[in-house]
Structures are given as C-alpha cells and as structure tokens.
Homo-oligomer: A and B are copies of this chain.
C-alpha cells in the first residue's frame, strides 16, 4: 500500500491571513514530501475567512468555502481544525469550541485564546478524546513547544526564559544601534508594519506574556495563569539606560522568565538586563530566543524567527504532521485535569539590580544613597559616577549594580532615596537576570 492509498488527514483552515495562506502554500508545494513524512497525505478540504472576495496569494479554488468558521469547524470532511484567525474571544473561540465538540483535533497559532481559555479548551478537547496543538503560538518557527513537551519530558524544568516578541527586540536593539529614543524607533516600527493594530499587545508585553504563560503551564504542570504574569512593557526603557547598561556589559531585553521554586511560580515579562555576551544578550532584531532549563539536561537555547508567514506556517505544519503520524500529546503535556492550580510566588527570586540615580552635586550625596541601600539590606557590587558634560552640571549620575536583592528591598531603598533630599528626578531600577 502506498501512502496515497491511505486516508488523508483533512485540514480545515479558519483564517486566510499571512499564516493561513502560508499553510496553504506549504501543503500545495510539498504534498509528496509531507505524505512521505506523515505516512499519509495531508490535504486541505475547506477554508474560511471574513471576506471571500479578497485577492489572496494562493489558489484556493479546490477548497470548499465557509463564511462562518463555526460551520467550517463542524464539516464532516475536516479532521483537523486549523485556527489561524486570532483574537481571544469571538469567532476564534466559538469555532474552536465547535471543532472540539464535533470531535476534531485543533491546531492553532492563537496564543491569546489559549492564554485566556487554555484550561477550559484543553479539558473540552480531552473529554472528546482530542488534542489542541499550538507550536505556532509561541516563538513562531522555533519548535519550542515540542522541545519542552516532548524532548525534555524526562526533566523537572526549573526555569524557562525568552525573548518572545520580535517587535520589542527590534525596537530595543535598534535604539541601541542607532542611539535613538524609544518614541522615534516606535514610530519607525509602526511605519514598517511591525506593530499589532493595538501596539500595546507588543510593546506592553501582553503578546509575549501570553506566550510565557503557555510555556509555564507545560514546564510546571500548572494551569495557564496569564493573569498572574507580572507585565511591564518597554515604553519606559530609555536610550540613556540602554547606553549606560551597555557600558557596564549588559543589554536590555524584554525578557520573559517563568520559574518554579519553593516560593511558588514566578512569571515575569519585564525589561531586564542580561550579560551582553550571553546568547540572550547577543540577540539582535526580530529574532526570538527561548532558554529551557531542566534538572538533567542543563540549559538548552533555541533561536529562530518568531513571526512571519513561513516560520509560523512551518510550526502549524509540524503539528499537523504529528497528528497525521498519530502523535497525540495532551495539550499542556499532562491531562488537563491533572494540571495544578499554581501558587504564585509572593516575591520574585532575588537578583542583582541595575540602579541609576541622579544626584544633586552636594557633599555627602553619594553617602546618603549608599546609606539608604544599607538600611534596605542591599549591598553594592559596583558603583560608577558618570560625569556628564552639559548644562546642568550640578547633577551627577550614579550607576549601581547591587548584589542579589529582593524586589521588596529594592522598592524600600527607592522609597528611602526619595527622603534624602539629594535626588534629581526618579531613580531607575532594572532587574539583572542571571542567564
């Protein structure tokens, strides 16, 4: 029996934007290759999108058309519902639920949907003996869901980190390379079409936070808890701090960290300093990177394109081929009912901090700052005074790198700074993640 005689796996594709069309192109271009690898053909039987009349970069004439993705999801000639519409409510959610209820497996690129409704959807899928696969939802073409759920399944995972929003990394690395302020580069990115319709999804860290919450669920066997992710975007990262951090051997990244310790589960998506010579520190432009740490394997670093037609469609097809091969892994790696309710850590793991304070050029000003740190229980690893040539030469910029401190102690020190009477403006504190 040749593979062409075996029943094909039939995809219904909901959403014909960049990713959906990318999937169509791969299925058409590599039909034979995919059939050989899957052991059976993978075909598209039906598609759905809002506007049928729109001109699209692929021949869709062989596929049935549905205006309604729910109708697509329920078709008898669809085995796998491919959800590449986006949006965490509305049609994407309704159609995914309908697909599961109709006994279909789901392949989705929708991080927002899973971040908000992952537990309920996973439970529903399992109740119907189906799975949801979502490689395309996290870090684009990088097979990180597979690496974490399958490749490292023999490990207790201790930490997952990553740069998972290419637009933010583009903005930060472009600011540094060109010496431009945030606002200017943000505007460049907007004009280049790099930003979501709601830019806060990117620069506010929300999109990357969605991804982090999915990785955390798999890594630690816990229910997706996007609402417990500490989120801080890049809008307050200044070119001044980028440059000063660079001088001290660090780069600033919008870094996601999910970590399980005796404190509980920490999930942070915040600007952090990382050593400039580390893999994360060296990451330029829109590329993504995910770091996985397990008790046996040590540290694995995965790097690749985090978005775009080809990479995202590649991830969708990887999932479809798994299903065609009969590889069916539970949505978050273990049965949904066994996922634990995570105990959110009350405080983040202590870390060194980068502090920038501007002081009035008064005798004893620096001593007052040092005293505040001491009173907050924070010891100083490095201190450097920057003498800026300029008009306001009464002010002195002081950079400090602390030894490990808790966020609460840092907040305490910042409050004490305010009472010294020597501060100019607001001090800056940025966590230095040890990578």
Contact = CB atoms under 8 A, between A and B. Distances in A.
Given A142-B300, A297-B304, A301-B304, 11 more contacts: A33-B221, A37-B153, A37-B333, A38-B153, A143-B150, A143-B151, A147-B147, A153-B317, A154-B314, A302-B302, A326-B327
Interface residues of A, number: 60
A302 B33 CA distance: 24
Contacts of A38: 153
Interface string A279-323: 100100000000000111111111111001011011111101110
A33 B301 contact: no
A155 B314 CA distance: 7
Contacts of A153: 34, 37-38, 317-318, 321
Interface of A: 22, 26, 30, 33-34, 36-39, 135, 141-143, 146-147, 150-156, 221, 277, 279, 282, 294-305, 308, 310-311, 313-318, 320-322, 325-330, 333-335, 338
Contacts of A150: 143, 146, 150, 318, 321-322, 327
Contact of A297 (B141, B301, B333): B141
A311 B292 CA distance: 13
A326 B327 CA distance: 7
A150 B305 CA distance: 18
A153 B319 CA distance: 9
A290 B315 CA distance: 18
A169 to B, nearest CB: 15
A311 to B, nearest CB: 5
Task: Please give the count of copies of this chain that the complex contains.
Answer: 2
Contacts of A333: 37
Given A325-B327, A325-B329, A33 B156 contact: yes
A240 to B, nearest CB: 25
A350 B278 CA distance: 32
